[in-house]
Amino acid sequence: MAIWACAVCVAFVLPAPVWAQNKPSTAKKPPVVAQKAVKKAVNKKPGAATPQVKTKAKRLDAVQRPAVPMRASHGQLAGLHASSDPLDLRSSVALVIDQDTREVLFRKNDNAVLPIASLTKLMTGLVISEANLPMSEMITITQADVDTEKGSSSRLAVGTVLSRGDLLHLSLMSSENRAAHALGRSFPGGLDQFVKRMNMRAQALGMSDTRYVEPTGLSSRNQSSANDLAVLVGAAYKEPVLRELSTSHGREIEVGRRTLQYNNTNRLVKSANWDIGLQKTGYISEAGQCLVMQAQVSGRKLIMVFLDSAGKLSRIADAERVRRWVEKSANASGTRHSALADNQPG
């Protein structure tokens, strides 16, 4: 009715075309619905707004209402983003080391302990790989695998049946949360035993800053430091299946009558400029954008860790900055490959 009333009012206000101004009116009376709408608008109480005014007010209020700010990451709350570095990275934490010599090429807040999001799945994959469980064993996605931590969605519906190998593939390549949770839940002894094994493996590797409470990374209580994660990348790189699955470009999965296409969450695996041996991405609001990689740059095997990066593509941009810096340094005679950021904690 509001739209009819508006249309009628406009018709009364606009002048008739020149060719029709001297002709007798043949216009029909407005429809009954429009007449009622006009009558209602005329007889409204003083101060009452018309439907059009109310709608406009709502739209104006929506424009003027400040947007809900994104939840600050732990790194932002700790003031880590105030740290400067020679490469002007957007990640508040970064570490680049030579995998063979352990020489530190670049460091920035590398001792800070922060949530690590889906980087968790790298330890999940390591525990599964070292357990030598049958990769062909079929596992069913259950209601227990549905995310209650963040309410994230998944294309793996409850009841989906996939092999352990497929679940591992989707966990590492596409960061599939239900797949990772199912891997932990179906582990001998159950989920609690699996999480215990994750923490035991971290301790065995000397990852003293690391703690896991679940296998997906959805919980912000899964935490680590860049130094610990570099150790994890080195250990995971020794497992051929983790190298292969984490750097896979994509995979089609048959789910019932449907074929689902999954792609790698790290676009750099498809880049001709990169030779990546292992990688994992991660994101939750508390952790920011995260990325770990093993890659060969200028003939050197490097381990790179980027945590708490601000911006959806900033972790990728930071990796590119580091790669170009290493390449430039390698081409410069007598230049040492090292850079230390300011304001190092502890």
**221, 74 contact by CB (below 8 A):** no
216: Cβ contacts below 8 Å, ≥ 6 apart: 118, 120, 121, 124, 147, 149, 177, 180, 181
Which candidate in 121, 219, 224, 246 is catalytic?
Answer: 121
| Backbone phi and psi for residue 341, each to the nearest 5 degrees, phi listed first | -75, 160
Residues of 196-210 as b/e, b for ≥16 C-beta within 10 angstroms?
ebbeebbeebebebb
Which candidate in 83, 91, 92, 118 is catalytic?
Answer: 118
139: Cβ contacts below 8 Å, ≥ 6 apart: 161, 162, 163, 164, 167, 182, 183, 186
Angle, nearest 10°, between helix axes 32-42 and 2-13?
A: 80
118 is catalytic: yes
238 is catalytic: no
Which candidate in 91, 174, 175, 186 is catalytic?
Answer: 175
**279, 292 contact by CB (below 8 A):** yes
Range list of H helices, 238-313 = 240-246
136 is catalytic: no
Q: Annotated active-site positions, please?
A: 118, 121, 175
